[in-house]
Amino acid sequence: MRFRTLIPRVLGLLLLTCSVASAQESRIGDLTGHANRGKALYERYCIFCHGTHGDGRGESAAYLDPKPRDFTQATYKCRSTPTGTLPLDSDLYDTITRGVHASGMPSWNPLTRQQRADLVAYIKTFSSRFTEEKPGAPIPIPAEPPTTPESVQRGADLFQSMNCWQCHGKEGRGNGPSAVSLTDTKGYPITPFDFTSGPRFKCGNSDTELFRDLVTGLDGTPMPSFTDALKPDQIWDLVHFVKTLAKGNTVQAVQSTPKGNQ
Amino acid sequence: MSTMKPSLPFFISTVVLLSLATAGIAAGPGPDAGGGSLSGVVKFQGAAPMPMRIQMAADPACSKSHTTPAMSEEVVTDGSGGLANVVVYVSDGLGDKTFDAPTQPVVLEQKGCVYEPHVLAMRAGQTLKVVNDDSTTHNIHPTPANNREWNKSQPPGLTIEETFARQEVSVPVKCNVHPWMKSYVAVVKNPYFAVSAKNGSFEIKDLPAGTYTIQAWHEKLGTKSQQVTIGANESKKVEFDFR
């Protein structure tokens, strides 16, 4: 009988310690990262740009464009979760692993998986949001339909009607009429992505990752979420279209592609 | 027998349930009937700056919807010095009182690539309904300091509904596609607020008797504050001066 009463008590205590500890931990698949170990790594590798307080004001920050991420805001570009919600631990892990193209953030793939998980745990401690809120539910990504001239053409039409060109420019060079006015949330000037610059994107280069970026938006930047605005098929059309820009094709070249020419 | 003895998980869940229940009781009703009324006027002292003409040529869908040029609404005054678009609200004096958010949404319209109203006040937790009456695609992008930041594309006809959980006077809202589009959403955690009209007038009704800090916030001219003591059924007048 004594043993029976003990079980729920022990379970309760376990639950309590887990909920306290989770603020200092990260979970990426089978990995558990620990903030105390992440702190030492942060102070060795990250502090020069992201700063002692994680506010993106490290010693090198003045020389960087775009500016290092301010972790105290908990606003992240590359997420699998809806706009306005916290990222998953695995989203932060992926960004650390991948690096951020066209910024000062390199790939930290040379660190071990455990070290990267520890860094995620520590980065989360800079914002109380990670203890107060749960991450958003990851957005669903349906199977990708084949890239066809029709799909590319529909994407080109959407690029026009959804006003993508107002920032990214008619030819996707990042030079639309609104481009010069753009700032990030902290007020620093920000340049729209130049699709002609090559096939590398900030949050990953696969079609699935581009689909995800369009649905989630890049929080903290002028790039909005298209979650309410477009259906999944339309988002795939846009993905197919912007990929043709990356190969150096212009909108005109895509539009002149005869329909059904495949 | 062992089930008779309260276990720790049972204890925790009871505490959680009890605290939830008391929170429910503490959440008061809406504004008190029989309370006082605080009204007055917000004035702009001196010569008001000339409103700037907005250039919308970058999107013909925007420029075509105006027969006369659209003007900036940063400082809007009437002929007699009344200052519009000032958020007047109770910032202190209500103690620990909490208020349930109304179920009715507030509406922010995009019309002619201009936000209507330019300054909107709403309650924390209330639904903000964003409407696009234009034939062009906008993105609606609040950049709060104390709330979640989100940013959504909004083609013609689509309605977007969101909320702000915490008090913030005021959340800047912009459209990155059309950089001239700016508005402010004041999020207040109590029901005692108003936005000054074209002639600068405002009224806060049903304010319970008490001593309050009243703040007046303007997007360019800053914040003014004054202490006001109001009795039951009293109608009090105050004036705020900006320059």
pLDDT for B35: 84
CB pairs under 8 A between A and B: 103
Angle between helices A35-45 and A113-124 (to 10 degrees): 100
CB B82 within 8 A of CB B41: yes
pLDDT for B79: 84
pLDDT for A72: 95
pLDDT for A247: 62
pLDDT for A198: 81
pLDDT over 50 (residue A256): no
Tens digit of pLDDT for each residue in A103-153? 999 999 999 999 999 999 999 999 999 999 999 999 999 999 999 999 999
Q: Under an 8 A CB cutoff, do A222 and B152 touch?
A: no
Q: Which residues contact A130 (CB under 8 A, 6 or more apart)?
A: A23, A74, A86, A124
Query: Among all chains, which residue has been given the structure tokens 């979760």?
Result: A81
pLDDT over 90 (residue A13): no
Task: Report the gap between the CA of B89 and the closest CA in chain A (Å).
Answer: 26
pLDDT for B33: 58
Task: Report the gap between the CA of A114 and the closest CA in chain B (Å).
Answer: 30
**End-to-end CA gap in chain B:** 76
> Model-level pTM?
0.83
Of A4, A15, A84, the CB nearest to B149: A84
Q: Supply B69's token pair.
A: 């040029």
Residue A200 CA to residue A102 CA, distance in Å, equals 9
pLDDT over 80 (residue A158): yes
Average pLDDT score, chain A: 89
CB-CB neighbors (< 8 A) of B179 in chain A: 178, 181-182
Of B7, B59, B152, the CB nearest to A8: B7
ipTM tops the 0.85 cut: no
pLDDT over 80 (residue A12): no
Angle between helices A149-161 and A232-246 (to 10 degrees): 100
**B111: helix, strand or coil:** strand
Q: Under an 8 A CB cutoff, do A228 and B153 touch?
A: yes
pLDDT less than 70: residues of chain B: 1-33
pLDDT for B61: 93
Q: How does B10-21 read in b/e, with b if 16+ C-beta sit within 10 Å?
A: eeeeeeeeeeee
What torsion do the CA atoms of A141, A147, A153, A159 make, to the nearest 10 degrees? 40
Tens digit of pLDDT for each residue in A198-245? 888 999 999 999 999 999 999 999 999 999 999 999 999 999 999 999
**DSSP notation for B30-83:** SSPTT-EEEEEEEEE-SPPPPPPBP--TT-HHHHTT-SS--B--SS-B-TTSBB
pLDDT over 90 (residue A249): no
In chain A, % of residues over pLDDT 70: 85
CB atoms under 10 Å from CB of B100, counted, come to: 14
pLDDT for A259: 42
pLDDT for A161: 96
Query: Among all chains, which residue has been given the structure tokens 């204890």?
Result: B11
Q: Supply B11's token pair.
A: 């204890």
